[in-house]
């Protein structure tokens, strides 16, 4: 019987433990003799480059142009395909994920389910909708009060909340320093 593919979605706010959970899944698959390869969406259009994803066991990932997620198909040689920053891709990623699943791949997509405005961060909601397994880790703690955090607060450099017109995607992302922090619903300040 052909190996049955499946799609696993791991979603949440920043620092919620998504990558750590993905790392544990990858380790489990490895113990079953399944190898993984890693991809990361990039909006800076320097596609094809390899980078290191922290929190995923320092693995090397291939950067994929967010507008051309079908590039993943020609690189997906391993049994397990891990895709980080799923929210950055355009809607074409849905067809790519379905094709990978059809090919019998185990596909793990990691991404932010909401943006800093508290709105759905497309296409993650669509990816969650078609997933076979869904995980929503809750390890982020509110940077203000320490309660469980479910929101991503974007901050200006002076520490005030970023406005409604602030860009959704910064090239630096969560590695650009202290411009994002997890917050609970009470401490989260919607952008004005």
| Active site members | 85
Is 31 or 178 the residue whose CB approaches Zn ion more closely? Answer: 178
Q: Which of 44, 145, 176, 190 binds Zn ion (CB under 5 A)?
A: 145
What is the separation of C-alpha 130 from the centre of its chain, rounded to a whole number of angstroms? 16
Answer yes or no whether residue 184 interacts with Zn ion by CB under 5 A: yes
Answer yes or no whether residue 168 interacts with Zn ion by CB under 5 A: no
CA distance 56 to 131: 21
Task: Count how many Cα atoms sit within 13 Å of the Cα of residue 153 in the half-sphere of its side chain.
Answer: 23
CA distance 11 to 19: 10
Answer yes or no whether residue 144 interacts with Zn ion by CB under 5 A: yes
Tell me the site size for Zn ion, rule CB under 5 A: 6
Is 13 or 108 the residue whose CB approaches Zn ion more closely? Answer: 13
Answer yes or no whether residue 142 interacts with Zn ion by CB under 5 A: yes
**Residues whose CB is less than 8 angstroms from the CB of residue 28 and which lie 6 or more positions away in sequence, other chains included:** none
CA diameter of the chain = 58
Binding part of the chain for Zn ion, among 8-16, 102-110, 114-122, 144-152 by CB under 5 A, reads 144-152
Binding part of the chain for Zn ion, among 44-52, 86-94, 117-125, 180-188 by CB under 5 A, reads 180-188
Pairing mode, if any, of strands 80-84 and 106-112? parallel
Q: How far is the CB of 13 from Zn ion (least distance, A)?
A: 12
Residues in the chain: 192
Binding part of the chain for Zn ion, among 13-21, 22-30, 100-108, 141-149 by CB under 5 A, reads 141-149
Q: Are 111 and 123 in contact (CB under 8 A)?
A: no
Q: Which residues of the chain form contacts with Zn ion (CB under 5 A)?
A: 142, 144-145, 147, 184, 187
């Amino acid at each position: 019987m052909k190996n049955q593919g499946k799609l696993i979605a791991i979603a949440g706010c920043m620092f919620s433990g998504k990558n750590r959970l993905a790392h544990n899944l990858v380790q489990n698959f490895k113990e079953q003799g399944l190898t993984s390869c890693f991809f990361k969406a990039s909006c800076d259009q320097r596609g094809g480059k390899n980078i290191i994803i922290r929190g995923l066991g320092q693995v090397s990932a291939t950067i994929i142009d967010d507008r051309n997620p079908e590039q993943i198909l020609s690189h997906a040689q391993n049994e397990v395909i891990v895709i980080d920053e799923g929210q950055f891709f355009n809607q074409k990623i849905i067809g790519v994920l379905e094709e990978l699943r059809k090919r019998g791949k185990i596909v793990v997509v990691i991404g932010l389910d909401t943006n800093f405005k508290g709105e759905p961060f497309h296409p993650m909601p669509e990816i969650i909708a078609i997933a076979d397994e869904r995980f929503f880790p809750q390890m982020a703690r509110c940077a203000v009060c320490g309660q469980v955090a479910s929101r991503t607060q974007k901050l200006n450099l002076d520490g005030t909340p970023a406005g409604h017109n602030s860009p959704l995607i910064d090239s630096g992302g969560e590695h650009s320093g202290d411009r994002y922090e997890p917050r609970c619903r009470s401490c989260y300040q919607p952008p004005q």
